[in-house]
Structure 1
Amino acid sequence: MRPTAILGSAGRDLMPRLTTSVLGSIALVLGLVACSPPTTETPPVDTAVNTDASAPPDRAADAVIPDGVIGTAELTSPSGDNTVSGTVVVTAEGGGFEVALKNFHSDVPGGVQLFFSPWSETTTCLADMHSFSFGNLSTDADQPGLSMGPMDFSGGDPSYYLTAVITANPSGTNDPDGCVLTPWAVGTITWDVPDTRPGLLAVDTGARFGAGGATATTDGAPSSYRAVAGDTLNDIADRFGITVDDLGFLNPLTSRQLQAGDELNLRVALRGGASVPPPSS
């Protein structure tokens, strides 16, 4: 089943602050990193592989999320007045991910929308950026069959989305927090999914042509990589002992070609909103 709405499309024509999240794994498989020439001279790059670095560990085969319910969220109104209520249920089925709203009720005037956000409930304006929109919803009925797309969506694992959010269609009134979309109800998504990429660990084997940028580390392990002019995704992946598809999995919110200075996340624990600034910052 095709998605009922493009990711983030509900707000794209409303205000420029809303940005669109797309299938990161597809966006990254664009080949060359589109980098404009740097304004300062690029330092020489050591083209030799660092033979002193540890070799990437052997990887177990990637796992596929089995059919069935994989995530739920109970919607509650931040004001506590039960203006909006219901249960969000995410199911893996038939090679794709489906979302349903059960026991759904809304007293919000006008239409409402369901978003998935990669940030926690306490994030200000958490529906304004990098959110998956399911479009307009009926306000007093169950909503079955809302599609997130095929199973290869974000590398087959949508669990980097942390929060379900109900927003009202923008009415032109000012949000008290300055948000484009006001959250009327939120719920933390509880996921029950296997480790779909067991053993995925980036190991820096040294700079080379096509991957000459700097690496940040945490506890001695690579955590992010900063792109430089001339980089290619194949060379970056090869430098860290992973695949280009792994890069897409680790960076599901990447929605454009990389530019010099952009960063790629290299840790599974920082996948999604943990590696991207929230909209309120």
Structure 2
Amino acid sequence: MIEPTAILGSAGGDLMLRLATSVLGSIALVLGLVACSPPTTETPPIDTAIQTDAPSATDDAAGVIIPDGVIGTAELTSTSGDNAISGTVVVTAGGGGFDVALEDFRSDVPGGVQLFFSPWSETTTCLADMYSFSFGNLSTDADQPGLSLGDRDAARGDPSYYLTAVITARAPGTTDPHGCVLTPRAVGTITWDVPDTRPGLLAVDTGDRFGADGATATAAGIPVSYQAVAGDTLNDIADRFGITVDDLGFLNPLTSRQLQPGDDLNLSVALRGGASVPPPWA
């Protein structure tokens, strides 16, 4: 993987979450330091690190701009089945960024709650402990307007790779049966209404070369992922597949560390986000 975002993170200090910065972008996502029993996926640095060249001057982002207005909603459902938490998450595009609001919000969780956006589905184990975007601590029993999801550049203009809104208690629980640090108290699948922001974006393998000599996986003859090798550069990889470095960042919004030999880069718009990156203990 390339570095929550392709793949990005922000930190929730109360839970010892660490900040990770994308090589290809500036979205902040949260990677929890989890107490789950499965091992973490952190990979120690190696000497044969891939060179991550900066985009060239002609590598300008191109595509369709999401118009202002409501672009996503999620109805929160309490995971306990007792309707202890309810409300609607509303994502709005406006000006230079994306805002989030909690409407008709109600919570019986004492001590306040936290809101996260996750790139994985509601059924993912330890959903709130992994790569996700944190909106921090929220008040209980009150609507929450004006929560920022970041500027448009942060998500390459399209945040629709987030799949699930997650509410957790502010204080970590200690009785989660899966050993999770943050127990989801309410979840909601985000329904997006956004246009195709990069129409025609299609990777075409023009053959290996110096700086892009790794193997490509295909589906129906179309490249869907590329496995990096030592000596690769992002510029050369993008050139091999007829896309820009910015396109490569758009296709890979989730990574927590610098690109290393053996990492897989997604090349398919349909697999952007969590669809191409399995949870660390799936």
Using the size of structure 1 for normalisation, the TM-score is 0.82
Q: Is the 8 A contact 1:21 1:253 kept in 2?
A: no
Per the alignment, residue 118 of structure 1 pairs with 119
Number of residue pairs matched by the alignment: 246
The 4+ residue runs of structure 1 with deviation greater than 4 A are: 18-24
Q: Is the 8 A contact 2:88 2:102 kept in 1?
A: yes
Q: Is the 8 A contact 1:87 1:101 kept in 2?
A: yes
Structure 1's 263 and 257: CA in aligned 2 closer, same or farther, altered over 3 A?
A: same
Specify every segment of 5 or more residues in structure 1 that has no aligned partner in the other structure, as ranges.
1-5, 29-33, 39-60
Per the alignment, residue 251 of structure 2 pairs with 250
Q: Deviations along 1:168-187, whole A, 9 cap, x unmatched?
A: 12345131122111000000
Deviation, 1:35, is: 6.7
Distance 1:128 1:95 in 2: 29
Per the alignment, residue 199 of structure 2 pairs with 198
Deviation, 1:19, is: 6.1
2:239 match: secondary structure:
helix
1:37 aligns with 2:55: no
Deviation, 1:20, is: 5.0
Q: Is the 8 A contact 2:96 2:152 kept in 1?
A: yes
Deviation, 1:121, is: 0.9
Per the alignment, residue 26 of structure 1 pairs with 25
1:245 match: secondary structure:
helix
Per the alignment, residue 170 of structure 1 pairs with 171
Distance 1:174 1:36 in 2: 41
1:76 match: secondary structure:
strand
Write the mapping of 1:59-98 to structure 2, written as runs, cut at 5 A: 62-98=63-99
Q: Deviations along 1:104-130, whole A, 9 cap, x unmatched?
A: 111011121000011111111111111
Deviation, 1:86, is: 0.5
Deviation, 1:278, is: 1.3
Per the alignment, residue 55 of structure 2 pairs with none
Structure 1's 181 and 172: CA in aligned 2 closer, same or farther, altered over 3 A?
A: closer
Give the counterpart letter for 1:26 in structure 2: G
Distance 1:187 1:144 in 2: 18
2:275 match: secondary structure:
helix
Structure 1's 13 and 209: CA in aligned 2 closer, same or farther, altered over 3 A?
A: farther
1:176 match: secondary structure:
coil
Give the counterpart letter for 2:47 in structure 1: S
Per the alignment, residue 156 of structure 2 pairs with 155
Write the mapping of 1:220-239 to structure 2, written as runs, cut at 5 A: 220-239=221-240
Specify every segment of 5 or more residues in structure 2 that has no aligned partner in the other structure, as ranges.
1-7, 28-44, 50-61
Q: Give the aligned CA root-mean-square deviation in angstroms.
A: 2.1
1:199 match: secondary structure:
coil
Q: Is the 8 A contact 1:27 1:255 kept in 2?
A: no
Structure 1's 216 and 19: CA in aligned 2 closer, same or farther, altered over 3 A?
A: farther
Q: Is the 8 A contact 1:36 1:229 kept in 2?
A: no
Distance 1:98 1:176 in 2: 34
Q: Deviations along 1:238-277, whole A, 9 cap, x unmatched?
A: 0000000000000001233201111100001110001111
Per the alignment, residue 56 of structure 2 pairs with none
Structure 1's 196 and 153: CA in aligned 2 closer, same or farther, altered over 3 A?
A: same
Identical aligned residues as a percent: 77
1:238 match: secondary structure:
helix
Distance 1:179 1:20 in 2: 19
Distance 1:171 1:129 in 2: 14
2:126 match: secondary structure:
coil
Per the alignment, residue 179 of structure 1 pairs with 180
Distance 2:20 2:66 in 1: 22
Structure 1's 8 and 261: CA in aligned 2 closer, same or farther, altered over 3 A?
A: same
Q: Deviations along 1:7-66, whole A, 9 cap, x unmatched?
A: 4411x6635xx56565564269xxxxx97339xxxxxxxxxxxxxxxxxxxxxx610000
Q: Deviations along 1:53-92, whole A, 9 cap, x unmatched?
A: xxxxxxxx61000000000000011222111111000000
1:135 aligns with 2:98: no
2:25 match: secondary structure:
helix
